[in-house]
Amino acid sequence: MSRLRDFFSERVPVSPETMRELTNEPVPNHLKRWWFALGGTPAYLFIIMIVTGILLACYYQPGPTTAYQSVRYITEEVAFGWYIRSLHKWSATFMVAGVILHQLRVFFTGAYRRPRELNWMIGMGLLVSTLVGGFTGYSLVYEQLSFWGATVASNIADSVPVLGGFLKRMLLAGESYNQHTLSRFFVIHAALMPTLMVLLLVLHIAMVRMHGVTEFRFPDDTSEKRYFNFVPDHLFSEIIVGLLLMIVLSTLAVALPAEMGPMADPLTTPEVIKPEWYFYVSFRWLKLFPATVAVLSMGFIVFLFFLWPLIDGLIRRRWPGSEASMYVGAVTVLTIIALTVWEAVVAH
């Protein structure tokens, strides 16, 4: 045993003390509250999606003549194909929700403020990548929603002044949806976005380690010590969250498995069509304003939130103690909820 230990300690020259220091970051007490641990949940879901995504890619065939039938084959004929696909789909839904909730928590607790501005921007990058991953994911099935979603997205790109036509052609691999389009969406979904997200995640976690977790002290926290150990305390919390998620995802996969909608028909847009719930807000926005105004305003709002830590910094320098971010956040969240509910309850 000691020879084995010597073998590894010679080849991995890190002392036990250093290893303990690296893995056992002191965790502030407020992280015992689950809503402060929402950052780890998307990371866990991301791993599930990578694993199930690799399994799905073993049978999936991009292309308008093959995609729909290959997804049907996975869903109906491959052993446990329905389960793998349903886990992938539900993980995606939960991941979008988890990233949004994590972002909201960070926003409303002001945890993005100096010196963590850059990490907020990385987090915004992760949020946008997650949404792009979700969109390209349901585009791959080549059902009606996939086709018309991709068509609308390419026209959103086309609405950008100057660069629009170029962006649309790059996205569709042609002037309109064609036999090369799905391959491009598959590359974005299965290669580009995961690579980008891994890079952003590594940066995100590295920044959290460098700055430490933002510390909050609650009135009911009467413990003498301000921190607890990452190993084993927080690690076990994450394991419990992981197990709970696996139970919930499996239950949903069995109770509400991923289904097949009608195959894409490029000649007929369904009389009622809606994207996934997380795009309801942008879908409604597109109904309210002319295309270019809607697209530019959406891009501008996302850009503002990307830069929000710097804007907030300027505001607080001018008016120290200002809580403008609370009002901006509340108005934004209420608007998003209102537009989402509006889109959800009406047919058109």
- The phi and psi torsions of 263 (rounded to 5 degrees) equal -65, 150
Q: Rule CB under 8 A: say whether 220 interacts with other proteins.
A: no
Whether the CB-CB separation of 91 and 48 falls below 8 Å is answered with yes
- Binding residue for other proteins, selected from 1, 2, 4, 10, defined by CB under 8 A: 10
Both tokens assigned to 58: 């073993």
By the rule CB under 8 A, 335 interacts with other proteins? no
Contact 214, 109 (CB under 8 A): yes
Residue from 82, 90, 177, 280 touching other proteins (CB under 8 A): that is 177
Q: Which residue of 58, 170, 330, 344 would you call a contact of other proteins, by CB under 8 A?
A: 170
CB of 197 or CB of 264, closer to other proteins: 264
Cα 84 to chain centroid, rounded: 19
- Candidates 113, 29, 110, 87; CA nearest to 251 is 87
CB-wise, 66 or 250, nearer to other proteins?
Answer: 66
Q: Is 69 in the site for other proteins (CB under 8 A)?
A: yes
Asked if 191 interacts with other proteins (CB under 8 A), we say no
Residue closer to other proteins by CB (options 130, 154) is: 154
Q: Which is nearer to other proteins, 196 or 263 (CB)?
A: 263
By the 8 A CB rule, do 241 and 308 touch? no
**The one segment of 36-44, 111-119, 259-267, 314-322 that binds other proteins by CB under 8 A:** 259-267
Task: Report the Cα 64 to chain-centroid distance in Å.
Answer: 27
User: Of 51 and 167, which CB lies nearer to other proteins in the complex structure?
Assistant: 167
Burial of 73 (0-12, 13-18, 19+ CB in 10 A): middle
Other CB atoms within 10 A of residue 39 CB: 21
178 binds other proteins (CB under 8 A): yes
Residue 118 in the binding site for other proteins (CB under 8 A): no
Query: Could you give the C-alpha distances from 32 to 221, 228, 242, in angstroms and in order?
Result: 10, 9, 15
Q: Which is nearer to other proteins, 55 or 188 (CB)?
A: 188
Q: Considering only 29-37, 103-111, 213-221, 266-274, which stretch makes contact with other proteins by CB under 8 A?
A: 266-274
Beta-carbon neighbour count of residue 128 at 10 Å? 16
- Any contact of residue 287 with other proteins (CB under 8 A)? yes
324/206 Cα distance (integer angstroms) = 29
Can you tell me the distance from the alpha carbon of 244 to that of 343, in angstroms, rounded to the nearest whole number?
Answer: 31
From the CA atom positions of the chain, what is the Rg in Å? Answer: 23
Taking CB under 8 A as the rule, which mask of x and - marks residues 293-322 in contact with other proteins? -x----------------------------
Contact between 267 and other proteins (CB under 8 A)?
yes
CB of 294 to other proteins, least distance (A): 7
Q: Judged by CB under 8 A, which stretch of 33-41, 102-110, 225-233, 271-279 contacts other proteins? A: 271-279
Region binding other proteins by CB under 8 A among candidate stretches 27-35, 125-133, 249-257, 263-271: 263-271
d(CA 110, CA 315): 13
**Alpha-helix runs per DSSP H in 34-116:** 40-57, 67-76, 81-108
Distance between the two ends of the chain, CA-based, in angstroms?
A: 69
Which residues here bind other proteins, judged by CB under 8 A? 9-10, 13-15, 18, 64-65, 69, 72-73, 148, 151-152, 154-156, 166, 169-170, 172-180, 260, 262-273, 283, 286-291, 294, 348
